[in-house]
Chain A
Amino acid sequence: MTHWIVAPIILPALLAPLIVLAARYHIGIQRVFSVAGVVALIGLAAGLAWQVSDGSVIYYRLGDWAAPFGIVIVGDRLSTLMILLTSVLALFVLLYAIGSGWDDRGRHFHALFQFQLMGILGAFLTGDLFNLFVFFEVLLIASYGLMIHAGGNARLRAGIQYVLFNLIGSTLFLFALGAIYAETGTLNMADLAERVRLIAPEETVGIRVAAVLLLLVFAIKAALVPLHFWLPSSYAEAPAPVAALFAIMTKVGAYAIIRVYTMIFPPDLEVTSGLHDVWLLPAALVSLAIGMVGVLAARKLDRLVAFSVIGSMGMVMVAISLFSPAGIAAALYYIVHSTFAGAVLFLVSDLVRTGRGNVDLTPQAPMIGTVVTAGMFFAGAIAMAGLPPLSGFLGKLLVLDAAFDNDMMVWVWAIVLSSSLISILGFARAGSIVFWKAHSVEPPEEPVPDTRNPATMSYVAVGGLFTLLTLHTVFAGQVHGYTTTIAAQLFAPDAYVSTVLDTPGKLSKPQEGY
């Protein structure tokens, strides 16, 4: 049993209190600790991803108690891919926060950032449903602090919406967990996968209710229409680097849906038949449409980006709800893409705010640093709208291809293609108002207050994310090949289940040698 797999949770969990206790008045030391921690996380995540890339499953028994009695941390291809994605995104977001000075506009940014990472990474790695709830709460409580970082009335008001919506989501999660425990007597995911199959067909009322409740909870996290109402205000009002980090948070919901509904309630399970195709796919299509219409209708750049995140989550969920190996593989490719694209657009919208003082979609005099910012917005919009040559286009092709033999194929193709057109219109409208029409407006005689040239490191961070998007496009074949092997592993969960359940551990009495 290797101890490395628990390190991505332990490292930020130790670093955050260290930053609060030892360096609370020294922003420079906080920055050094925070960046060093995230770089170490990338190393750990890459090492773990390399270790499981051959299809093996690594696990860690906390306290050496055997599953299903103890809590297990499990790493397979899917979870290690997600922690690698999270830590790489976190590095560039952190560089932007440091470069733009956002981390110095309130207290404890870096400590909350590390706690946030701990919650996200824990949610990806845990093998226990109740532990998943605990890590959801860790990431949520850190995100409450980050969301209202630097204060302000609008931000606090958006913050209270976000907090209350998520509190109700947590309550639903507990109801679902209670129902699952009452029906099966376990909360370990691998154990559940075996026990749910054993429930007699005439006694499935409770577990069906639990499955739907659980899907609702994860759909709230994934901002699936009609449970998306928390997202636009809170992402638009959150500080830009925080919103960029939140781009991974909706993916936590998507990850949980993939994990639970391929392993515990797989599509061929009679108990939950209809949940995947009858309910999830139409909801995903509606989210895609509403998100992209919101892009066209938005009056502010940050709201526009928030709606494009809803739309791209709709696209991810369309691919997931096909629940075929090709669909999951396409969804994972698109998850990586939309995480980076969403983060880029939030950061670019902050560059616009830095350069001209607001993000209203009205013609105003040219902003400071308009050339580079406009170029970055152009590239980010191409990525998010899914135009060639960037990876959004390839991701969309994969989703369309995966939906080819589905019964709902006509609907999927029609909505994906028409919503792409709407989002292109929306981004083109926003870009031409902000960047082109600016040249027909007389510049004001006095410079607008609170505007300045964005720091070089801000550009470096956004450029780094672009480099990743480009690599994601250039190596699309290899990445998609890997996500296909992930999907294959997900649809054959026996290795996962047997690794977790059949490995002996310390049970009720100490074994010899302890």
Chain B
Amino acid sequence: MELLVASAIGVMTAGGIYLVLRLRTFPVILGISLLTYAVNVFLFSSGRLTIGAPPVLSDDVTTYTDPLPQALVLTAIVISFGMTAVAVMIGLGAFLGSDDDHIDDQPEPSETEGQP
């Protein structure tokens, strides 16, 4: 169980970082989505992994899972969803406006003209 969760987080983070380094809008947004999935699973596991245990108090249960990480993950999911939507819209606007989806600054024309 621990190995499965840990390797899932690791693989998603590695894939996310690789995509983020592509420096074009679409792969970068995909990469950031992968990174947020990784961090959500990581947050979920920060309250220790417990299988089949309820998070709320009841009389006939003795083992519980930590409820706080679940609340944190919920907040993180909502925020990252909204942020991704904003990033997609701004990225689309920038792409439609300049017909170029590179994220890094392109060299200014004046810089290349002066060089032989």
Contacts and interface: CB of A to CB of B under 8 A. Distances in A.
A and B: partners?
yes
A141 interface: yes
A31 B54 CA distance: 51
Interface string A292-314: 00000001000000000000000
A214 to B, nearest CB: 14
B5 interface: no
Interface string B20-42: 10000100110010011001001
Given A157-B98, A167-B32, A233-B105, A175 B68 contact: no
Given A137-B79, A141-B82, A178-B39, A160 B46 contact: no
Interface residues of A, number: 30
Contact of A181 (B46, B84, B93): B46
Interface of B: 20, 25, 28-29, 32, 35-36, 39, 42-43, 45-48, 68-69, 72, 75-76, 79-80, 82-84, 86-87, 90-91, 93-94, 97-98, 103-105, 110
A157 B90 CA distance: 8
A130 B68 CA distance: 11
A164 interface: yes
A157 B94 CA distance: 5
Contact of B32 (A134, A156, A171, A175): A171
A144 B32 contact: no
Interface of A: 130, 134, 137, 140-141, 144, 148, 151-153, 156-157, 159-161, 163-164, 167-168, 170-171, 174-175, 177-179, 181-182, 233, 299
Contacts of A178: 39, 42-43, 45-46, 69, 72
Given A148-B90, A171-B39, A181-B46, 16 more contacts: A137-B79, A141-B83, A153-B98, A156-B90, A156-B94, A159-B90, A164-B28, A168-B20, A168-B35, A170-B79, A171-B80, A174-B36, A174-B42, A177-B72, A179-B46, A182-B46
Contacts of A153: 94, 97-98
Query: Closest 10 interchain pairs by CB?
Result: A156-B94, A182-B46, A153-B97, A178-B46, A174-B39, A178-B43, A153-B98, A181-B46, A171-B35, A157-B94
Nearest to A176: B39
Contacts of B32: 164, 167-168, 171
Nearest to A69: B68
A181 B68 contact: yes
B93 A156 contact: yes
A35 to B, nearest CB: 27
Contacts of A181: 43, 46-47, 68-69, 72
A130 B80 CA distance: 14
Nearest to A159: B90
A160 B90 contact: yes
B82 to A, nearest CB: 7
A160 B35 CA distance: 18
A170 B104 CA distance: 20
Given A177-B43, A179-B46, A164 B103 contact: yes
A134 B79 contact: yes
Contact of B76 (A140, A164, A174): A174
7 contacts: A151-B93, A152-B97, A153-B97, A159-B94, A174-B39, A175-B42, A182-B45
Given A168-B32, A171-B32, A144 B42 contact: no
A160 B39 contact: no
A484 B47 CA distance: 40
Indicate the member of B28, B83, B91 with the most A CB atoms within 10 Å: B83
Contacts of A299: 110
A148 B29 CA distance: 18
A134 B80 CA distance: 11
Contacts of A137: 79, 83
Nearest to A175: B39
A159 B104 CA distance: 11
Indicate the member of B39, B47, B75, B82 with the most A CB atoms within 10 Å: B39
A105 to B, nearest CB: 16
B101 to A, nearest CB: 9
A163 B92 CA distance: 13
Contacts of B29: 164
A174 B86 contact: no
Nearest to B39: A174
Nearest to A154: B98
Contacts of B42: 174-175, 178
A171 B36 contact: yes
A177 B46 CA distance: 9
Contact of B86 (A144, A151, A157, A182): A144
B67 to A, nearest CB: 11
Contacts of A152: 97
Contacts of A174: 36, 39, 42-43, 76
Contacts of B72: 130, 177-178, 181
B20 A160 contact: no
Given A174-B43, A178-B46, A130 B91 contact: no
Nearest to A167: B32
Contacts of A157: 94, 97-98
A197 B98 CA distance: 53
Contacts of B84: 167
